[in-house]
A and B are shown apart, each in its own frame.
Chain A
Amino acid sequence: MDNYSPFEMILAIALIVVSTFVTRSALLVIGERVKFAPRVEAALRYAPVCALAALVAPEILLDAAGLAVSLDNPRLPAALAASLFLLWKRSIVGCIAVGMTVFALWRVFVTGS
């Protein structure tokens, strides 16, 4: 990328590395000194679920044009099939395999993309 000098590129990458360290390690390092209210501590139990849902939902429900809730979106039937398989068999690998298979077949036979 010619937009930046090598020095600026190193700085840009360093900023990303710093953000990785600060967000992931800072609270672990000062862990015993940070005391949250019991309510907040209890709320943290639900943090991973909510973060994952917030990460996954846009990937499944949106496309370049915006909300894509229709049979033209192969990720919907694929995610549905993968979730049902997971509730039945509890296998992550199986969930990925079922989801990717439905995803691929749907694109070949239904949306034709």
Chain B
Amino acid sequence: MPISKDDPLRRREFARGVTDILPAMPGAVAWGVVTGVAMVKSGLALSWALAMSITAYAGSAQLAVLPLLKDASPLWLIGVTALITNLRFVIYSAAIRGWFTDYTRLRRVWLGYLSGDFVIVTFLNRVACEGTFVHRDAYFFGMCITNWVLWNVASIVGIVGAAYIPTQWGLEFAGVLALLALVVPLCRERPALAGETSAAVVAVLGHAWPLRLGMIAAIMIGITVAMLVDARQRAARASPQARS
């Protein structure tokens, strides 16, 4: 994704992407370190851990396959588990795809690959507030590349320093807090709050389901509940007398 030097507007969008994503990065860094440590502690050789971390670029999928690798599970199970752990990105990319149809296919492939939870939510927040803007790809890429670099540096630190980084500190909780910081501001509307709450309940109830299917059920039910509350709210606004 070349950032042409003769277009200051493009560079400014790239820079804004970098600054917009930075506040969430302490969470991504903590998570990267913990993922790196977990890979080595599970018995993965240093070189495999490094290779997986840099190419797979999917923290939750990497953590999900670690116990499978340890148990010498068949490769198809590893592939299916990684796919299902990543399924939330199908829903994310469905939500953002309309903003990227102007760009070349190759560019979309890389922007998709480099995206992550923090990037998608920050992007959707901006277009929800400001509507469309030019050089969305540069803005998105600025966020992605910052996330990618910091995540990989953190993972490598975790992998190489696994012996010296205590796991009982609960460092990964910083990653949870960073995601929490993205969720809380989104829940001021009632449909979002209802969807979020039901997704949380289903995710907790279904956490032990095989292949992380509880997570998918949670997202589906959360979206459905949010839609129902949204529809009711609209109906109530349209005819205040006919409230049920």
Contacts and interface: CB of A to CB of B under 8 A. Distances in A.
A3 B226 contact: no
A6 B121 CA distance: 37
Contacts of B57: 20
Contacts of A53: 183, 195-197, 199-200, 203, 218, 222
Contact of A46 (B48, B100, B223): B223
A61 to B, nearest CB: 5
B153 interface: no
Given A13-B51, A93-B26, A4 B72 contact: yes
A4 to B, nearest CB: 7
Contact of A48 (B90, B186, B224): B186
A24 B27 contact: no
Interface string A1-13: 1011000110111
A58 B209 CA distance: 13
Give chain B's interface secondary structure class. Answer: helix
A67 interface: yes
Interface string B90-112: 11111111101100010011111
A25 B108 contact: yes
Interface in B135-159: none
Interface in A42-58: 42-58
Interface in B71-94: 71-72, 75, 78-79, 82-83, 85-94
Contact of B75 (A8, A56, A75): A8
Interface of A: 1, 3-4, 8-9, 11-13, 15-29, 31-32, 34, 36, 39, 42-62, 67, 74-75, 78-79, 82-83, 86-87, 90-93, 95-96, 99-100, 103, 107
Given A28-B111, A52-B196, A57-B200, 9 more contacts: A16-B55, A16-B65, A20-B113, A24-B93, A29-B112, A34-B94, A56-B179, A62-B204, A92-B24
Interface of B: 23-24, 26-27, 43-45, 48, 51-52, 55-58, 60-62, 65, 69-72, 75, 78-79, 82-83, 85-98, 100-101, 105, 108-113, 115, 117, 120-121, 124, 170, 172-174, 176-187, 191-192, 195-197, 199-204, 207, 215, 218-219, 222-224, 226-227, 230
